[in-house]
Amino acid sequence: MAEDRLKTLEERTRYEPADVEGRVFARWDEAGIFHPEAEGTPDENFSIAVPPPNVTGNLHMGHALNASIQDLKIRVARMRGMRTKWIFGKDHAGIATQRVVERQLEEEGLSREEMGREAFTARVWQWVEEYGGNISRQFRELGASLDYEDERFTMDPDYVRAVTKVFVHLYEKGLIYRDNYMVNWDPGLRTAISDLEVEQREVEDTLYEIDYPLESGSGSITIATVRPETMLADTAIAVNPSDERYSRLIGESAVLPLVGRRLPIIADEYVDPEFGTGALKITPGHDQNDFEIGRKHKLEEITVIGEDGRITDSAPERFRGMETREAAEAVVADLREEGLLSGTQAYVHDVPHSHRSGRRVEPLISLQWFCDMEGLAKPAIDVVRDGTIRFHPDRYAKQYLDWLERIRPWCISRQLWWGHQLPVWYRGDETHVGEEPPCGEGWERDPDVLDTWFSSGLWPFATLGWPEATEDLRAFYPTDINSTARDIIFLWVARMVMFGKELTEQVPFTDVNIHSVIQAPDKRRMSKSLGTGIDPSDLIHGGPRPPVYEEGGEFPAYGADALRFGLLAMSSSQDVAFNEERVKQGRDLANKLWNAARLILLRVADVEPDAAAATTVEDRWIVSRLERLTARVTELYDDFRFSFAALELYGGFWSELADWYLELAKPRLYEEENEDVSAVLLWSLERVLRLLHPVMPFVTEEIWSLMPGDKRGLLAVAEFPVADESRFDEDAERELGRMIEAVTALRRYRDEVSAKPGAAVRGHLVADGYDELSDHVGRLARFEWVDGSDADGDVIASVPVPGGAVQVLPSDAFDAGEAEARIEKKRAGLVEEIERAERKLANEQFVAKAPAAVVDEERRKLAEYREALAQLES
């Protein structure tokens, strides 16, 4: 066992993630550490409900980042001994999934209409069974410690019951109602969508000016529109009441061209006299604003564009059945012929489009189900205001609050087949809403399904078995953290809070983490169709670089740890361009760690890790530094500042443990069987592994398994360290700080005088504070100390080091002539520094007003520079 262990270490000079990750994951899996018992209370337990990915999807970079963040939090909690549940599951994603399957059908020459609802949904289920597994495989690749044993789906029977119950509850409370109202109609998907599913896109339109003849026959009134075809549904003309140009016309009527309808001319403050002609055609059936004006003035609502996007029978015969674009052209042509088109101009403006299909949204009046949100929003506002729920970064709280404070009714019905069908039945004029179908004959169920976000809003508690009072719910609800991208703060986060407060009377989580959006390397959006998307799996296992990388080629197999490190290190509170260098840095870190472990584990004596074995000043130094690193990293993890944590770990391990301590420990490690240094080395390695494990679980677990001692168990459930401040050692840190400075100065000197790489430079160390460390300084800087400092005649240079100087003696390591030039350069630098400090201290204002500590520090530096200069000239 021990021999196998050492053999592995001996042979592998490089860390190969591909050989390790699958095996390590299997160990976690088999140990069952991802699946907690449903015991204890939410306060002592820790839980996160993963944002459920769409069943249709593959994990993209955003998922990989978010998984890294959540897994980090989960692993820290688990290592702190908490019972930890990361709730796993997927979302049925109504529109997205239905579209995928529909497209597949189209390829087979089929359509869902031909198949019928039942056969179609069966087909979707079949698809879900077949492809839904990808996601959990990808999460496993990343090392995500989700509770895979307990997977949820938003279409599970239990989940469907929960959704139904919520619908009925809100209906009975009067918050859910059915109404004929203006909705955003997606003509591509043929369904209503909510306001949040609409995005504004800039469109170049033509603004037409059309003359509407006055009924009196005395002239006409000119309106402007970008959608001439909607004039077929005009029912009024509006002007601003204060607009003197039109005041005499208010109460008169105009005649709608091509149709002949009489249009009253009304006054409404909404109309901007400055825009266009100052007269506005009112089309309550096809414009959101006009709809509201129409309701206010009790105007007729005419629908000339149907749900199929074609002109309806309410329009004159010759336009019926036309697509809107075609109708617009026909209307314009007719107007031109009649001489009623008085002008056209190019016009660029923002137009609502469906986020899903990309089609221009058609505002229509439609009979839909709505949920009144105002009452639900209030408690959701309060819990953020009073700090029960905290956002990280906190500026997102403002966005959340702004939206909730201006919330509008939510259109929740969708004309789809895949999803939660409304628990609503009709028979003649009767409506039945209930968890069970109505009794009696002749009832027909509403064919619509709910907006997917309605069911997503229940995620943190429905996954735990709500509305039943399950053990899971008792143990893990409320959850601790919700981590998402900011584009679903309203769609999802706010709704979970509203539903959570309404239905469970608790907040669904206490912390909301909003992570960066990872953009493509060229700062465009990552997208498959643009060729800017990067598949996380390709970074883990290696794979082709997407087109956004002009140099092409393949990604190396960086491994999951590298990807996790890279994503965490590059993310912050800002959006960030994907930076392959960070992933590379992660890979290098894993490799460096592996090799540091090789050095340590192949050489140490058979002892227990022990910080108390620190005897020498460098031992006390590394212990102190790692305790401080522990304190910093812990704070950063807890404060959701993951990139800082990752970079602190990188720097702390690499530039302190690896670059300095390991070099300082080598003599004792090689030349003697030193138990003290072994204990400190093992302790140091162990400490780094524990701290780094939440970021890089695989390599740390692997090295952990190679450490001596048979009863170590898994690092994933080992104790997360708590910084021991009693081991902070300022004396040791000061001393080592000076030593590092000295070594660096001497190395620089060697470089400047072009000393031969292998040869030692002879010299006297004439400085205080190196009692314990002079050998180290000599070895690391390649200086050979000659006893005494009285051979004045031989000294050819003096290199200032903290506490004194090193007098350089002639040797065959370098050409003495080089030394002179370098001394001059150094002297000039010091003189400059001295002048700067003197100038500052000569400023009476500075000395008088700056804090004493700052002034003292400046004086100290000045003294130091003067001493160094004196040394140089001695």
Partner RNA sequence: GGGCGGUUAGCUCAGUUGGUAGAGCGCCACGUUUACACCGUGGAGGUCGCCCGUUCGAGCCGGGCACCGCCCACCA
Q: How far is the CB of 441 from RNA (least distance, A)?
A: 44
Nearer to RNA, 162 or 371 (CB): 371
Query: Binding residue for RNA (CB under 7 A) from 585, 624, 674, 807?
Result: 585
Ranges of H-type helices in 639-674:
642-651, 662-671
DSSP single-letter state for residue 55: T
Q: How far apart are CA 466 and CA 444, in angstroms?
A: 29
Nearer to RNA, 148 or 549 (CB): 549
Query: Binding residue for RNA (CB under 7 A) from 37, 114, 272, 338?
Result: 272
Query: Binding residue for RNA (CB under 7 A) from 125, 177, 181, 403?
Result: 403
Query: Binding residue for RNA (CB under 7 A) from 129, 350, 638, 719?
Result: 350
- Contact pattern from residue 658 through residue 697 relative to RNA, giving x for each residue in contact according to CB under 7 A and a dash for the rest: xx--xx--x---x---------------------------
Q: Which residues, at least 6 apart from 649, have a Cβ–Cβ distance to it below 8 Å? A: 629, 633, 688, 691, 692, 695
Nearer to RNA, 132 or 697 (CB): 697
Give one word for 254, left, alpha or beta, with left for phi > 0 and alpha for psi -120 to 50: beta
- If one asks whether residue 868 binds RNA (CB under 7 A), the answer comes out as no
- Contact pattern from residue 20 through residue 39 relative to RNA, giving x for each residue in contact according to CB under 7 A and a dash for the rest: --------------------
Nearer to RNA, 573 or 789 (CB): 573
587: three-class secondary structure by DSSP: helix
Residues 380-399 that bind RNA (CB under 7 A): 395, 398-399
Q: Site for RNA (CB under 7 A): how many residues?
A: 90
- If one asks whether residue 204 binds RNA (CB under 7 A), the answer comes out as no
- Locate tokens 């150094």: which residue? 826
The answer to whether 289 and 270 are in contact (CB under 8 A) is: yes
Q: How far apart are CA 628 and CA 631, in angstroms?
A: 5
Residues 598-637 that bind RNA (CB under 7 A): 598-599
Nearer to RNA, 476 or 661 (CB): 661
Burial class (CB in 10 A: 0-12, 13-18, 19+), 56: buried
Instruction: From 36-44, 46-54, 655-663, 811-819, give the range in contact with RNA by CB under 7 A.
Output: 655-663
- If one asks whether residue 199 binds RNA (CB under 7 A), the answer comes out as yes
Nearer to RNA, 7 or 137 (CB): 7
Q: Name the strand (E) or helix (H) holding 4.
A: helix 2-11
Q: Which residues, at least 6 apart from 817, have a Cβ–Cβ distance to it below 8 Å? A: none
Instruction: From 81-89, 304-312, 379-387, 744-752, give the range in contact with RNA by CB under 7 A.
Output: 744-752
- If one asks whether residue 553 binds RNA (CB under 7 A), the answer comes out as no
Q: How far apart are CA 841 and CA 211, in angstroms?
A: 81
- If one asks whether residue 591 binds RNA (CB under 7 A), the answer comes out as yes
Query: Binding residue for RNA (CB under 7 A) from 41, 104, 180, 200?
Result: 200
Instruction: From 147-155, 258-266, 277-285, 820-828, give the range in contact with RNA by CB under 7 A.
Output: 277-285
Query: Binding residue for RNA (CB under 7 A) from 65, 196, 266, 649?
Result: 196
Residues 478-507 that bind RNA (CB under 7 A): 486-487, 490
Max distance between CA atoms of the chain, in angstroms, equals 120
Q: Which two tokens stand for residue 870?
A: 């004196």
Q: How far is the CB of 240 from RNA (least distance, A)?
A: 8
Residues 826-865 that bind RNA (CB under 7 A): 833, 836-837, 843, 845-846, 849-851, 854, 861
Q: How far apart are CA 142 and CA 563, in angstroms?
A: 8
User: Which strand ranges, in their side-by-side order, compose the sheet holding 444-445?
Assistant: 430-433, 424-427, 444-445
Query: Binding residue for RNA (CB under 7 A) from 37, 751, 824, 873?
Result: 751
Nearer to RNA, 104 or 744 (CB): 744
Give one word for 46, left, alpha or beta, with left for phi > 0 and alpha for psi -120 to 50: beta
| SS3 assignment for 687-702 | HHHHHHCCCCHHHHHH
- Locate tokens 């769609």: which residue? 491
Residues 556-575 that bind RNA (CB under 7 A): 570, 572-575
Nearer to RNA, 447 or 651 (CB): 651
Residues 98-157 that bind RNA (CB under 7 A): none
- If one asks whether residue 647 binds RNA (CB under 7 A), the answer comes out as yes
C-alpha closest to that of 565 among 17, 31, 49, 90? 17
DSSP single-letter state for residue 317: G
Instruction: From 218-226, 311-319, 328-336, 672-680, give the range in contact with RNA by CB under 7 A.
Output: 218-226
Nearer to RNA, 87 or 238 (CB): 238
Q: How far apart are CA 146 and CA 587, in angstroms?
A: 24
Rounded to 5 degrees, φ, ψ at 342 are: -95, -5
Residues 769-808 that bind RNA (CB under 7 A): none
- If one asks whether residue 590 binds RNA (CB under 7 A), the answer comes out as yes
Q: Which residues, at least 6 apart from 813, have a Cβ–Cβ distance to it below 8 Å? A: 750, 755, 756, 759, 760, 761, 762
- If one asks whether residue 168 binds RNA (CB under 7 A), the answer comes out as no
Q: How far is the CB of 136 from RNA (least distance, A)?
A: 28
Q: Measured between alpha carbons, how far is residue 865 from residues 521, 586, 749 in Å?
A: 46, 40, 18
Query: Binding residue for RNA (CB under 7 A) from 28, 459, 644, 814?
Result: 644
Nearer to RNA, 274 or 790 (CB): 274
